[in-house]
Amino acid sequence: MADPEHPRRSTVSDRVITWWLVLGILALAIFPAIAEQFYLQLITKIMILSIFALSLDLLVGYAGLVSLGHAAFFGVAAYTLALAAPASDPPNLWLTLPLALATSAVIALVIGALVIRTAGVYFIMATLAFAQMVYYFFHDTRLAGGSDGIYVNSRPSLEIGSIDLAQDLHFYYLVLAALAGVFILLGIVLRSPFGRALQGIKANEQRMRALGYPTLRYKLAAFVLAGTLAGLAGYLAAAKEGYVNPELLAWHQSGMVLVMLILGGMGTLFGAVIGAFSYVLLQEWFSNLTKHWQLLMGSFIVLAVLVLPRGLAGLGRSIALRRRLSASRDDVEP
C-alpha cells in the first residue's frame, strides 16, 4: 500500500482529493442560494482568509519555513489597491490587481533575499522584524493615512458583461473563483518538480544540497510565490472591506493566519482552508456566547493542538486511513 501522505500518492487518494475539492466548490457555489446577506459576507471573508492561509501553507507546511511576517505581503497589496484607486471611479481590476500582486512579489523578493539564509527561530524573528518595519512604515508616515488607514471608495470593476463587484453576490463568486484557482494552482505546483524539491528541502535540506539542489534559490522562489498569493488575499480583503489600515500588516495578523494553519493542519491544502473556516466560525460562535471569547478560543486551540497534532484535516485523514487499513488488513505489503 502506498503511503497516502507523501509524494507518489496512490491514484485512489488523488481521486478522493479531487472529489472533495469538487464537492467543496459546489457547496460554496450553492451556498448563496440559501444564505442571508450576513453569512454571504462572512463566507466571503473566510474564503479570502483561506487564500491567505493557503499561501502560508506553501511556506510552513511544504517548504518548512515558519514565517511570522506573512501579513506584510497581505497588507502591502491591500494598500496598493487603496493607493492606486482613483478618488471617485471604481478602480479597474485588470490594472490594480496585477499591480498589487507585483508589489507583494517585489517586497517578498527583497525581504526573502535578506531572510532566506536564516533558519528555524532566526527565520521566525527575521520575518517578524521585517514585517514590523513595513507595519511601521504605514503606521508612522502620512503616505496612506497613518494609523487611521484610508478608504477604498468603491470595489474594483471587472469590465466583463454585467458583472458588478459592488454587489456582494458577484464579489462572492469572484472570491470563490480566486480560492478555487489558488487551491488548484498550489495542487499543481506541489506535484511539479519544483514542489517536490521544496518538500525534499523541508524533509532534509542538507541532503538536497548534497544531491545538487541550490536550496536557497528554491526557498526564495517559494517565499515570493507565497508572498504574491498572500497579496491576492490582501487585495480581495481591501476590495471587500473598502478600507485598509496598518492592522492588516500587524504581527497579530501574521500570528492569526499561522494559528489557522496549525488548527487546520499544516502540509495539506485542505488543512489551510479548514483552518480558516473553523477559526472564523468559532470566533463568531464564541463571541456570541461571551465577550471573553478569546479565552474560549485560546482553550480550544490548545486542546486542538494537544489532541490533534495534525490539525482538523488530520482527523478526517486518520479516520479514513484506519478504515482503509482494516479493510485491507490481509493485503500483502509490497
Partner 1 sequence: MSSPEALLLTTGLSRAFGGLVAVDSVSLQLDPATIHAVIGPNGAGKSTLVNLLAGEVKPSSGSIRLRGEDITGWKPDRIARRGVARTFQHTNVFPDFTVFENCRLAAQSRNVHLMRWLKPAESYREWNDAARSAMAMADLGARAGVPAHSLSHGERRALEIAMSLATAPAVLLLDEPLAGMGAEESIRIVALLKRLSADHSILLIEHDMDAVFALADRLTVMVNGAVLASGSPNAIRANAEVQAAYLGADVPMTAL
Q: Are 78 and 235 in contact (CB under 8 A)?
A: yes
Q: Can residue 208 be called a binding residue for partner 1 (CB under 8 A)?
A: yes
Sign of the alpha-carbon dihedral angle for 59, 62, 65, 68: positive
Q: Could you tell me which residues come within 8 angstroms of residue 84 by beta carbon, excluding any fewer than 6 positions away? A: 91, 95, 96, 99, 100
Q: Of 210, 289, 307, 332, which lies in the binding site for partner 1, with binding defined by CB under 8 A?
A: 210
Q: Is 218 in the site for partner 1 (CB under 8 A)?
A: yes
- Please give the sequence-ordered ranges of beta strands (E in DSSP) within the chain, or none if there are none: 150-151, 243-244
Distances from the Cα of 305 to the Cα of 92, 104, 219, 266, angstroms:
43, 31, 27, 12
Binding window for partner 1 (CB under 8 A); candidates: 5-13, 86-94, 172-180, 312-320: 5-13
All three cell numbers of 137, joined, read 512604515
Looking at the Cβ atoms of 93 and 225, the one nearer to partner 1 is 225
* CA pair distance 103, 97, nearest whole angstrom: 10
> Does residue 5 bind partner 1 (CB under 8 A)?
yes
- Give whichever of 160 and 210 is closer to partner 1, judged by the CB atom: 210
- What residues numbered 173-202 form the site for partner 1, per CB under 8 A? 188-189, 191-197, 199-200
| Binding-residue total with partner 1 (CB under 8 A) | 34
Which residue among 86, 98, 181, 214 contacts partner 1 (CB under 8 A)?
214
Q: What is the closest distance, in whole angstroms, from the C-beta atom of residue 196 to partner 1 in the complex? A: 5
Distance (Å, rounded) from C-alpha 111 to C-alpha 334? 46
2: contact with partner 1 by CB under 8 A: yes
Which residue number, 29 or 109, has a Cβ lying nearer to partner 1? 109
> Would you say 99 or 189 has its CB closer to partner 1?
189
Q: Judged by CB under 8 A, which of 27, 160, 212, 306 binds partner 1?
A: 212
How far apart are CB 212 and partner 1 at their closest, in Å? 4
Estimate to the nearest angstrom the gap between the alpha carbon of 117 and the chain centroid.
Answer: 23
Is position 209 an interface residue for partner 1 (rule: CB under 8 A)? yes
Backbone angles phi, psi at 125, to 5 degrees: -70, -40
Cell (9 digits) for 289: 456566547
- Give the per-residue contact string, 119-138, with partner 1 (x = CB under 8 A; - = no): --------------------
Asked if residues 48 and 113 have their Cβ atoms less than 8 Å apart, the reply is no
CA dist 307 to 191, 257, 285, 298, 312, Å? Answer: 30, 20, 21, 14, 10
DSSP 189-231: HHHSHHHHHHHHHHH-HHHHHHHT--HHHHHHHHHHHHHHHHH
Residues from 79 through 118 that contact partner 1 (CB under 8 A): none
Among 117, 217, 252, 292, binds partner 1 (CB under 8 A): 217
Q: Which residue has the cell 501553507?
A: 57
207 contacts partner 1 (rule: CB under 8 A): yes
Return d(Cα 262, Cα 313) in angstroms, integer.
Answer: 10
Residue 331 binds partner 1 (CB under 8 A): no
Residue with Cβ nearer partner 1 (114 or 185): 185
Residue 58 interacting with partner 1 (CB under 8 A): no
Stretch that binds partner 1, among 4-12, 16-24, 64-72, 166-174 (CB under 8 A): 4-12
What is the binding site for partner 1 (CB under 8 A)? 2-3, 5-8, 188-189, 191-197, 199-200, 203-204, 206-215, 217-218, 221, 333-334
